[in-house]
Amino acid sequence: MNRDLLDFYANAPLLELGLEADRVRAAKHPHQTVTYIVDRNINYTNVCVADCGFCAFYRRPKHTEGYTLSFEQIGQKIEETKALGGVQILIQGGHNPYIPFEWYLDLLRYIKRHHPIHIHGFSPSEVDFFSQVFRMDATDVIRELKAAGLDSIPGGGGEILVQRVRDIAAPKKAGADRWLEIMELAHQAGMKTSVTMMYGLGETLAERIEHLQRVRDVQARTGGFTAFITWPLQPENTPEFSHMEKTGAVDYLRTVAISRIVLDNVPNLQSSWVTMGMKVGQLALRFGCNDFGSLMIEENVVSAANTTHRTTTEELERLIRDAGFTPARRRQDYSIIPLDHPVAA
Ligand code: SF4
């Protein structure tokens, strides 16, 4: 553990942390551009056997509210996304024991054939689940998903990548080492991924720093992480964490700032206005973030915990401008979409 980093995170005045993070951000993104993406989060199933104590979204098998979307329903959501100028789908779901591996491959092929769009999907926890239930090597799972049409992998399910915390919050899900191993395998297979940290699970500040340093180490080997996103636990409606107090804006800004400082080898940091609200989302742009995340057309997991902030592209761009930056719409790989592209409502 780097004592200086921990001391800086725990004790430095908020604005000093922000200033240092902003310096790292400005060195990496000197043109004062803040990007955002228009996409849609499609949760293909809410049936899950992982029982994460912080999750308000999932339903156990046989629960009357369990669902799995049909290919046609997913196709329709993609068409709606495209009509609004969306350039990718984020497709994630529960660990559903009733879905065969062929279903996932067929789904990816179906999307690429009938509704072509960038597919950002299947977090390392899902890849690990597939590897276990289909008795396949994770390398083969990734290779087959990629061959069927998967373009990149989201950093969902990372929470805190320290085993002590995972044993409490998500004991049935991919462990810390395995989660990072799958990311590394994906990078080796030529796929880019994002990476996340969800804090507020009762971890120490030292454990948050450990999470960041582990991500930094993988990035130093592979260079495969395009972006880092952090947000706090949304405790409402969760099975085991509803008694926890929601952490506040100051903790969020300090955490964003220290993330920017530690992860100086990860190019982009996203602000999480969906969980923190617009004003804190704007402030985060002065605490290390260079991306305003996603204008998400649908988000089921955070909204299941009663935390949903919605907006339009116009509003999003105004917020970015008011914070002193130039807004630009981007693709998954952070390339900029020219202004004459149709604008989403
Ligand atoms: S967070 Fe994901 S893996 Fe955990 S219970 Fe919810 S849907 Fe399942």
Q: Is the CB of 122 under 6 A from ligand 1?
A: no
Asked whether 308 and 65 are in contact (CB, 8 A), the reply is: no
Domain boundaries, the chain: 3-329
Q: Are 252 and 288 in contact (CB under 8 A)?
A: no
What pLDDT score was predicted for residue 343?
A: 46
The residue whose C-alpha atom lies closest to atom 7 belonging to ligand 1 is 94
What does DSSP say about strands 88-92 and 33-43: parallel, antiparallel, or unpaired?
A: parallel
Of all residues in the chain, the percent with pLDDT exceeding 90 is: 81
* CA–CA distance, 108 with 146 (Å, rounded to integer): 9
Q: Which atom of ligand 1 is nearest to the CA of 48?
A: 8
- Tell me: the pLDDT tens digits for 238-282? 888 888 888 899 999 999 999 999 999 999 999 999 899 999 999
Q: Could you give phi then psi for residue 319, rounded to 5 degrees?
A: -60, -40
Q: How confident is the model at residue 345 (pLDDT cuts 50, 70, 90)?
A: very low
- For the segment 170-229, what is each residue's pLDDT rounded down to a tens digit? 999 999 999 999 999 999 999 999 999 999 999 999 999 999 999 999 999 999 999 999
Protein residue closest via CA to atom 2 of ligand 1: 94
Which one of 173, 201, 231, 241 would you pick to mutate in the ligand 1 pocket, going by the greatest count of ligand atoms within 8 A of its CB? 173
- The model carries a pTM of 0.92
What is d(CA 108, CA 119) in angstroms, rounded to the nearest whole number? 8
Residue range 3-329, CATH number: 3.20.20.70
pLDDT at 298: 59
> Cβ(58) to ligand 1 under 6 A?
yes
Nearest CA to ligand 1 atom 6: 55
Yes or no: say if 41 and 300 are a contact pair by the CB < 8 Å rule: yes
